[in-house]
Each structure stands twice: as C-alpha cells, then as structure tokens.
Amino acid sequence: MKHLNDVVVLLGAGAIGLEIVKRVATNKTIFLGDINQDNLSRAKEGLENAGFTVETAIVDGGDRHAIQAFADQAEKLGNITSYIHTAGLFPNQAAFEDILRVDLVGTAIALEIFGKLVAPGGAGLVVSSMAGHMFADTVTVEQRMALATTSADDLGTLDFMKEDIPGGAYAISKQGNILRVQAESLNWAKRGARLNSISPGIIITPLARHELQANPEGYQALIDNSATKRVGTTAEVATAGAYLLSEEASFITGTDLLIDGGVIAAMKNGKMG
C-alpha cells in the first residue's frame, strides 16, 4: 500500500495538469507549484474537496533558483514518484523572450533538477503541444541536436532563436520540449525512472478558450479539416497522461504522444484546405 510520503509534483496548476493528478495521486501527497496564488488557492480547494492531500508553493517556472527551491520543498515532503510539468505561456499571453524563458528554458531546467530527485521506479510527464509538431520539418538536424543537448540555461540564446522562426517562440519551445524529453530520459534512467511527453491539440480549457477567441477562424479551420472534426477534452488527455505515468507503461520512455484528433496528420498530408 502507498503512503502519504509518496509525492506527486505538478508544476503549473492548469486544467490539464490538475486532471492528470486526480488520476495518479490517490493516497499520495500532491505538491502544486504555480506563479499565481489565486490559481493555487482554487486548485488546492478543489482537490481537497475531492479528498486529496495538497501542499502548494509559489514558483516562477522560468527561473532556475525558484524551480530548485520548489524541488527542495518537494523532496522534503517524501518520495517523488511522479513529476508533471505543465508550466507555460500561450502565444497571446506573453512576448517572444518570455515564452522562451518559461516554455523552453524553464522546462529543460525542471527536467534536469527533478531528474536528480525522482524516486526509482518513478516517472515524469511534460505536457507540450501539437505546435511542437507543426513546424518540425523547418528545423535542421543540427538545430534539433542543439535543442536536445544544449545546457538548459543557454537554450534561449541559440542563434536560431529569432522572432521570424517558423511558428514563433511557442512552436520552437514545444518542439524543444519533445526533443529535450527524449534526451533527458537517458539521465532519468540512471535513477530507474522514466520520462515522456504528450502533445495535446485543441483541448478546451479556460486558457484555450481565450486563444480560440483570439483566432476563431484559424482554429475552426484546424478542427474542420482534422480527422475527428472536434475539440478534445481534458479528461481524454488525462487518461493518456495517467497511463504514461503508470506501471502499465513501464517500457515507454523518451517518447511523445500526439493527442490532437488528427490535426497534424491533416497538415502533413495536404488536407488543410
């Protein structure tokens, strides 16, 4: 039987991450980190009302010292059996440099830090985005290697990190997440732990609704030309995420699962109108 000294860590208290922890944190302590106290308070209340044990901390997901302090607090709570990373900024929320700092650099730093703390037999999961697949063909082999292996703190200074890069900061950051997970999974393996990512497509969350309102025609075109012709739900993503964190997925590490209803398949095969 699991005890409350087993800890599930979630950095980024958004809808998808919270849905995932509900699937994997029964009889464990949940440690939530987010930069917004209101988000943390609402998430804590909701989880506690559902019977979970929850601790919280304010943390800037793009700052090494803040992430390290968050990790140190998590380690004091017990054995870190699962680490879930959803911290990130949407394109309409932030400037180019800020997205790189949080979505690209911060993610890489967190994977480095928690890869040294996760318990043997544990697992990590990064919630990336289908945007990481949209412009993958425009990135060279050398650039892919740089995204995978450059020192985490230096990722934002790579010479191809310019505002005219295809897809912008968000797309290159999400592709960087996918590549970083694959490379970093080898370090996690040294502790007997696994690391994977998922790339959701158009999933309805409060933040996603804001994005849809900013570009309704563009998103509707993606939906209409996809195989499923609908948006996804947080529950569908959480089911996949919980599986990758579970013992049932013990042979899966260093990979990305695209959960997009067929949007990328349509794009890659000329079905986008």
Q: Clarify whether 174 is annotated catalytic.
A: yes
Q: What's the rounded mean pLDDT across residues 62-69?
A: 98
Catalytic annotation, pick one of 22, 28, 83, 170: 170
Q: Clarify whether 170 is annotated catalytic.
A: yes
How many other CB atoms sit within 10 Å of the CB of residue 175? 27
* pTM for the predicted model, two decimal places: 0.94
Residue 217 pLDDT: 84
d(C-alpha 214, C-alpha 225), whole Å? 19
d(C-alpha 62, C-alpha 175), whole Å? 17
Q: What's the rounded mean pLDDT across residues 173-189?
A: 98
Are the CB atoms for 265 and 228 separated by under 8 Å? no
Domains of the chain: 6-203+233-261 (3.40.50.720)
Give the residue from 17, 31, 42, 41 showing the smallest Cα distance to 69: 31
Question: Over the chain, what is the mean pLDDT?
Answer: 94
Catalytic annotation, pick one of 28, 174, 190, 219: 174
Tens digits of per-residue pLDDT, 71-82? 999 999 999 999
d(C-alpha 243, C-alpha 100), whole Å? 29
